[in-house]
Amino acid sequence: MALRDSLGLTQKQIADAVGVTNQIVSNCESGADVPQLTFRETVNLCKITTRNQKQKRFQIIQIIAAFISPMGNAGASAVMHYG
């Protein structure tokens, strides 16, 4: 749950990506069930977590760019290019 929360994902988003119910995700997080994912389900889970990390990184870069805006457009462009 801590990892899911740190990525800003809901149980429903995980469940939809893997093709299970929210209750199964909840049971796995609480230790009441052990996930047995197929290769395809694992790939889908990797896709949703990676996509969310990229979105977070982009948001952080936008915040940094806003702080360095006194450096002019060149500084902000350099930071935005990094992401």
Domain boundaries, the chain: 2-82
Kindly state the percentage of the chain with pLDDT values over 90: 7
The pLDDT assigned to 69 comes to 53
pTM over 0.85: no
| Residue 20 DSSP one-character state | S
DSSP codes joined into one string, the chain: -HHHHHTT--HHHHHHHHTS-HHHHHHHHHTSS-----HHHHHHHHHHHHHHHHHHHHHHHHHHHHHTGGG-HHHHHHHHHH-
Task: Provide the CATH topology of domain 2-82.
Answer: 434 Repressor (Amino-terminal Domain) (1.10.260)
Does the structure show a pLDDT above 60 at 78? Answer: no
